[in-house]
Structure formats: structure tokens, C-alpha cells
């Protein structure tokens, strides 16, 4: 499982439609945008571990303190499914998506990630799984991190 975290001052997800775009998830003020990709073998336990890491990372700040977590700040996390995080571009010019789990397997894992964040007390707006979404955000810092479940259990290098 991979999560791209971006610290943001505001974010929204809209879905185009015949009556104009429809906003399905948003927040104003400080928070995180989490683009979530699922691969084969990921499960609810993997999702919970990455959600706990997301909520506890000390990458937020307020006027009085720096290096605090979303949990400390009460900041929201906008969760958007992103199968393209498992795109393989090593050969040719067309990405391969074979490492991305199929929708029916990945949707409950993305939901488990969002649900664990909610259980940790965070507001969690979401995109709409499988929809053509437009994500808008104001990246704060900019701060962008990659969380990869394969690397969580490994000791740091150097």
C-alpha cells in the first residue's frame, strides 16, 4: 500500500457531471491530502498501520507549535483512491497497472484506511472510488511524503 501525503491549507475533490462539477469531499484550513494506492496482498491491517502512521506524523504546525500531528491539531485528512501510484513505467511509454489491485479488492482497503483515521478522531472527507475526480489543493510548505507499507518494517538506512 502506498500513500502520498501532502500538507495542505485547503483541498477539494470534484466530479464532473452534466449539471456541472459536484464536490464530494473538501476541507478548509490546515489538513492533509492522502492519495491512497493499493496493491495485491494489502489488507485492513495494512490500511490501519498506514492510517495510524498518517495520523501520528508530526508534519503539521499551528501558530504556537511546529512539528505536531493531525491528531494534535484536529486537522482533517482528505482521502482519495489513486491506483496510478502502482503504475510501472520501466518499459516503453505506456504504464503498466498490473501491480495495482483491482477495484473490488482495493475499495474496501481504501475505506479501511479512512475508517481507521475516523476511529482515531479525525475528520475524513473522501473522494468517490472509481470516479473521474479532480483534486484541488493548496500545498503548504510544500510538504509531500511517501508512505509505503513495504518500508514500514525496515530499519532506516545509514
Catalytic residues: 82-84
Closest CA to 7 of 55, 60, 54, 57: 60
Q: Report angle CA 138, 18, 139 to the nearest 5 degrees.
A: 5
Query: Which residues, 6 or more positions from 78, have their beta carbon under 8 angstroms from its beta carbon?
Result: 8, 11, 12, 13, 25, 26, 27, 31, 32, 33, 34, 124, 125, 126, 127, 137
Grid cell for residue 68 = 505536531
Cα(112)–Cα(126) distance, rounded to whole angstroms? 12
- CA 12 from chain centre, in angstroms, equals 13
Amino acid at each position: 500500500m502506498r500513500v502520498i501525503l501532502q500538507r495542505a491549507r485547503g483541498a477539494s475533490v470534484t466530479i464532473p457531471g452534466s449539471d456541472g462539477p459536484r464536490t464530494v469531499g473538501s476541507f478548509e484550513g490546515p489538513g492533509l491530502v492522502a492519495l491512497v494506492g493499493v496493491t495485491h496482498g494489502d489488507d485492513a491491517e495494512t490500511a490501519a498501520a498506514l492510517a495510524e502512521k498518517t495520523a501520528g506524523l508530526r508534519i503539521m504546525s499551528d501558530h504556537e507549535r511546529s512539528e505536531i500531528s493531525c491528531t494534535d491539531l484536529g486537522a482533517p485528512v482528505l482521502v482519495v483512491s489513486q491506483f496510478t501510484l502502482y503504475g510501472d513505467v520501466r518499459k516503453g511509454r505506456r504504464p503498466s497497472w498490473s501491480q495495482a489491485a483491482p477495484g473490488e479488492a482495493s475499495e474496501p482497503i481504501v475505506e479501511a484506511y479512512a475508517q481507521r483515521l475516523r476511529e482515531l478522531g479525525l475528520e475524513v472527507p473522501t473522494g468517490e472510488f472509481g470516479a473521474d475526480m479532480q483534486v484541488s489543493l493548496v500545498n503548504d510548505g510544500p510538504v509531500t511524503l511517501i508512505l509505503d507499507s513495504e518500508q514500514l518494517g525496515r530499519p532506516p538506512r545509514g
